[in-house]
Amino acid sequence: MHPLLTPISRFGLYLLAWIPLAGILVYLMAVPGRLGWLDATVLIIPLCLIYQFVCLSAWYSCKAAPIQKSTGQRLWLTHVLAAAILSLFWVLLARLLAYGISEFPAFRGLNGRFASQVPVLFGAGFLLYLLSVASHYVILAIEDSNKAEVRVQESSILARDAELKALKAQVNPHFLFNSLNSISALTSLDPAKAREMCILLAEFLRMTLGLGEKTSVPLSEELSLLRRYLAIEKVRFGARLQMEEDMQQVSSAVQLPPLLLQPLVENAITHGIANLPDGGTVRLSGHSHNGRVVLAIENTFDPESTPMRKGGLGLKNVRERLEARYGKEASMRVSAENGKFRVDLAFPADTANTEEAKN
Amino acid sequence: MNMKDANKITALIVDDEDLARLVLRELVQTHPEIAIAAECANGFEAVKAVAEHKPDLIFLDVQMPKLSGFDVLELIGTETAVIFVTAYDQYAMRAFEVHAVDYLLKPIGRERFEAALERAKSRIGEKFPPAPELAAAARPPKQFLDRIVVRDGTRVTLIPVRKLDYAEAQDDYVALASEGKKHLKQQTIASLEACLDPEQFVRVHRSYIVNFEKVVRIEPYGKDSRLAILADGTRLPVSKAGYARLKTLLDQRT
């Protein structure tokens, strides 16, 4: 489809550009050509209306002869020939029109007076067509560069997706070995508890494995993963880890990228609770507001402890994933005040399964 | 062999997780020749317990709140045999290998435990390599200290490096100046320099490392040397090479 015909607003702009051109032509015919303003206007306006469509045809010859792939000779030959033929056709049309208009009493003799202006009109038609060719090449170049940009963006999104997929499939080895150590301790102390912990760990691992291919999960699924994660850490940290959850005010069907919250909760444990000899609280909360979901993960932390080491990376990943999914629709705020570290995420509340919509 | 306690080896178990201590306790208790002097849930307790019990052997967890296992090692000197315990830490494991320090991986298996214990027993009473080097080797590349641990008697102080004004070499010690106080630590100035971010700390002199942020101006002093004036008015000598390093850092920053 011709790029100037759609959308309609673009075609309007194109027509607007023709108004000064038509104006100049009218002037040329009226003053130096001595046709008189009325005669020139009546003759030129319909001619321009027709010729602006004719000029659009330059698109096809420009596409057929791309500027990078054609020799200069061929370019000139193609377009000059086209310009000459189309302009000739235009002049013939003009003569016919002039002849027709002359039939009206008010325009008697227009035909004769116009005859001397035929070369001027031919020249104008020739140049207008070439102008159109030049503009079309510009349009083609812009389209090419836009396409290239989109390709670059797409490939960078794909690369990031792959990276994130690899990341989310990865279970922190530290977590895994510490959990196994807890189980090993429980086998003699409390065999039933040891078995329960095995189950929890197995369920957690199974869930993270299954998430590899998904692009989004309902909040309920992410939460049940987090509850298992926290239950496992609770065995390890005992009374040092307190948990609070306030997710009543947000629909559990809300969709979000899988394992979006998990790294935040993991940070809350490894950089928060684990650094506190007396432990602290991890609090998950959420609410919906104006079609947006707002989720918060808050944990006690030691302001004097070493600043987030790997936490920085985890936060960056969450931010990137939110951006990749929702663009400017999502926001993430990180704060650390009064011994509380808090991450707030806000993104559009989407309960439809976006994965299905995509496929 | 330890002579002070009826030929028994005294041991300390240090881990912030109850269950992890339990596993070690069970393993140690199968050895009647070892007496558990104390169990500690954090590094501060450990430093105190070492001063109190002078144990022969410590099972020391690496990841602990406030004071890590490496910090504890720095603070207790080089007289005690240490078996490090960690779940997973690639850099630490490499450091243990390089410095031939015994270590156990969680979950701890009996065979591995016995082997480490045998090795540690045979080395009790030896002098062990200085801790700062081990700690430095265990840090991931490009990761610098964010605080320095010092001990005065049984009191442990953590000095965040941004609050460190300068360090001065004093024989086998470094004096660390922070917030108007000076803390002594047994460490060479070169090994301290290696642990500090070179974009923040400059060795301005054979005996001095200065925090770049605290320098307000440089004054000429004598023929070839200069003085660095700190925010609190302290004047530190700057050698010719030290001045060149300061200038390089200044150029990088501007």
Domain range annotation of chain B: 9-138, 147-253
3-state class (DSSP) for residue A130: helix
Confidence of residue A167 (pLDDT cuts 50, 70, 90): low
3-state class (DSSP) for residue B88: coil
Compute the C-alpha angle B153/B155/B160, nearest 5°.
125
- The CA R_g of chain B, rounded to the nearest whole Å, is 21
Look at B143 and A305 and tell me if their CB atoms are within 8 Å: no
Interface of B with A in 27-86 (CB under 8 A): 41-42, 44, 63, 65-66
**pLDDT tens profile B82-101:** 999 999 877 788 878 777 77
- Residue that the structure tokens 């429980």 belong to: A186
Q: What is the ipTM of this complex?
A: 0.82
Interface of A with B in 284-343 (CB under 8 A): 302, 304-307, 309
pLDDT at residue B207 greater than cutoff 70? yes
Look at B160 and A178 and tell me if their CB atoms are within 8 Å: no
What's the average model confidence in pLDDT over B180-192?
90
Residue A95 and residue A99: Cα distance in Å, rounded? 6
3-state class (DSSP) for residue A234: helix
Residue A275 and residue A269: Cα distance in Å, rounded? 8
What's the average model confidence in pLDDT over A213-240?
92
| Strand-pair partners of A64 | none
pLDDT at residue A305 greater than cutoff 80? no
What pLDDT sits at residue B202?
A: 95
What percentage of chain B's residues is helix, strand, coil (to nearest 5)?
A: 35, 35, 30
By Cβ distance, the residue of A236, A276, A309 closest to B65 is A276
Residue B92 neighbours by CB distance under 10 Å: 24
**pLDDT tens profile A257-282:** 888 899 899 999 988 999 898 999 99
Residue type, A191: P
Residue A102 and residue A89: Cα distance in Å, rounded? 20
Residue type, B130: P
Calculate how close chain A gets to B235, using CA atoms only, in Å. 29
Give the domain B147-253 fold: OB fold (Dihydrolipoamide Acetyltransferase, E2P) (2.40.50)
CB of A285 within 8 A of CB of A271? Answer: no
Cβ-Cβ contacts under 8 Å, A311 against chain B: none
Q: Are strands B215-221 and B9-14 parallel, antiparallel or unpaired?
A: unpaired
CB of A129 within 8 A of CB of A78? Answer: no
Give the residue on A whose Cα is nearest the Cα of B161.
A306
Give the residue on B whose Cα is nearest the Cα of A177.
B87
What pLDDT sits at residue B200?
A: 93
Domain range annotation of chain A: 8-163, 169-358
CB of A343 within 8 A of CB of A296? Answer: yes
What pLDDT sits at residue A312?
A: 67
Q: How many CB pairs under 8 A join A and B?
A: 71
Least confident of A80-84, A213-217, A249-253, B3-7: B3-7
For chain A, percent of residues with pLDDT exceeding 70: 92
Give the residue on B whose Cα is nearest the Cα of A275.
B65
Residue B172 and residue B188: Cα distance in Å, rounded? 6
Residue B143 and residue B127: Cα distance in Å, rounded? 28
Give the domain B9-138 fold: Rossmann fold (3.40.50)
Higher pLDDT, B13 or A324: B13
Confidence of residue A357 (pLDDT cuts 50, 70, 90): very low
Question: In 3D, which of B44, B72, B57, B47 has the Cα closest to residue B12?
Answer: B57
- Residue that the structure tokens 């630490």 belong to: B92
Residues contacting residue A322 through CB under 8 Å, at least 6 positions apart: A257, A260, A330, A331, A332, A345, A347
**pLDDT tens profile A64-119:** 888 777 788 888 888 899 999 999 999 999 988 888 888 888 888 888 888 888 88
pLDDT at residue A165 greater than cutoff 70? no
What pLDDT sits at residue A222?
A: 93
By Cβ distance, the residue of A183, A184, A275 closest to B66 is A275
User: What is the tally of helices (H) and strands (E) in chain B?
Assistant: 8, 15
Q: Give the side-chain half-sphere CA count within 13 A for B15.
A: 24
- Residue that the structure tokens 């020139």 belong to: A40
Least confident of A352-356, B196-200, B239-243: A352-356
What pLDDT sits at residue B3?
A: 47
Domain A169-358 indexed as CATH 3.40.50.970: no
Confidence of residue A296 (pLDDT cuts 50, 70, 90): very high
DSSP calls for A242-258: EEEEEEEES-TT-EE-T
CB of A177 within 8 A of CB of B106? Answer: yes
What pLDDT sits at residue B107?
A: 94
pTM above 0.80, yes or no: no
Confidence of residue A163 (pLDDT cuts 50, 70, 90): low
